Every structure is written in structure tokens, then in C-alpha cells.
Amino acid sequence: MNPIKTLKIGQISLDFDRDVYDRLISNYGELTEFIDRLKSFMTKVASHKDEYNINPYTDKIKRGIYILGKDDSELGIFPDSHLVLKCSQSKPLAENLRKQFYRSIQLAQNFEEQLNSDQKALLQICPVYLYVQINSPSFFFKQNLFMQRVEGDTTLGNTKSGFSGEFCEVFQIPSLEKIRTLSQFALHRYLDRDKQRQLFKIQTAYLFQRLWLKGMKIFSLNQKNILVSQDPNNGQTRYLIIDPIADYLLPISPAYNSLTLPLIG
């Protein structure tokens, strides 16, 4: 079964994760009611975009991308009501959020099929629920990606110790302490010797290489788009990848991962 269900209703195009679509059909007898609620929801989000903003980084190129945190009490179709909305004004240099939705679904399937049980427990793709495109000048946001919000919003780069010992063992990645002693990264450490940033970037490049060997190339992978969370069932530290589409207007991560690859054993 196709994991994505696509609908077009008037000026609105929707791509659903299959489970979310099944919830939609179960909860709404008539799609007109859902569309009306969705329009109201998006109007409210746009009106309060500054209040809902959770993006720690500035949009320096002014591409009209917003990262918003909003709990859902209106739509009622998501597995988790704590949402992150990535919203775009569809300016010329903006990211393609539909492509990100499809890539996230594809990678989640790849992880399920190609990672072992220990790896799947520790590393996941952040769940995406719904992509909405609104072709109407009256709406501020033209593209909208609905995702699960990860508790704490902490990135790998904001931790002190990098990946957990368990994660390093399962994926065969050196700890930050070990990376400090590896001669092939001496130049990296010299150029950034007063910061931990290079250590995180190198550790992430190791994960990039491990996934590459399994046929999954995530060029955008960096210490900023790996979120750290706790499994609510057992307290285990786990990691969720967001934004799995490379940004070639700011190609730092794709270039770094590709150039570091030959140094990794």
C-alpha cells in the first residue's frame, strides 16, 4: 500500500501520511468540514507566527521559512497533538517542503527495512504527518509541513557529550574523546581548536558514512538537524533526524560530509 495519500480540493493540495489519512476518514464524515477547520487553523497560525516561532536561527537570506510550535486542538487527526509546522511563503529560493515530506516518508521506510532492531530503537526520522499547499493569495503561508514536535527541541550540537555511549557502540562511531586523538582530524581540530563544534561535525560525518554504506545518503546531516529525545517507555536516549533534504544554496553540510568521508575508516 502506498504510504502517502494525495488529495486536491479546490485551491488546496494535501499529501497525508497514510495513518493520518485513515484518522481523517474516521473522524470526519465530510471533508468540507476538515477543509474549513484547516483554513481557520492556518489563518490563526499566520496571525500568531511570532508567538509560535521556535526557530533558533535567523532567516538571513529572507526565504520566508518559519518554524512554528503549535498544539493541535482543532483538527484532531494527528497521532501526537504537539506539532511543529514548517511554513513557507513560497519565495523563489525557498526549500521544497513537499520534497521534504516525501523524502522523510521514504527514509522512515528505509530505516525500518535496513537498520537492525538496536539501531531502529536509537535512530529515527522525525515523523511527518501532512503537507498542505494553498494556492490562494489570501493565505500568508503557501506551503505547510506538519511534523511531530520532539520534547525539549535539543539538538545534538547543544549536548555536551555528543552521541551516547550506547549509540556509538551500536553504530560503531567514535566518542568525542576518541575523535580528539585521531590523527586524520588534526587539521579539523586545529582550525576549530577552541570549540566543540568540529567534534560534533566529525561524529555526525561518521553517522553519514554508516548510513551511506546502507544505501541511505542524507547529505544534509549535521549536528543541528539531529534532535535528542528520551523514549517515554524506557528513558533510552534516541535521536531523530529532521530536514533530510540538502540545501544546495548553503551547501556547507553536503560539502563537509563528502570531503570528510575519505578520512573515515
pLDDT tens, position by position, 96-138: 999 999 999 999 999 999 999 999 999 999 999 999 999 999 9
Report the percent of the chain where pLDDT is more than 90.
71
- Check whether 152 has a pLDDT greater than 90: no
Higher pLDDT, 161 or 191: 161
Q: Where are the domains of the chain?
A: 1-149, 155-265
- Check whether 248 has a pLDDT greater than 90: no
Mean pLDDT to the nearest integer, 180-195: 83
Mean pLDDT to the nearest integer, 157-168: 92
Integer Cα distance of 74 and 117 in angstroms: 36
- Check whether 218 has a pLDDT greater than 70: yes
- Check whether 60 has a pLDDT greater than 70: no
- Check whether 139 has a pLDDT greater than 70: yes
Mean predicted lDDT score pLDDT of the chain: 91
Least trusted range by pLDDT, from 96-110, 183-197, 224-238, 245-259: 245-259
- pTM for the model: 0.92
Mean pLDDT to the nearest integer, 84-89: 96
- Check whether 167 has a pLDDT greater than 80: yes
**Residue 144 pLDDT:** 98
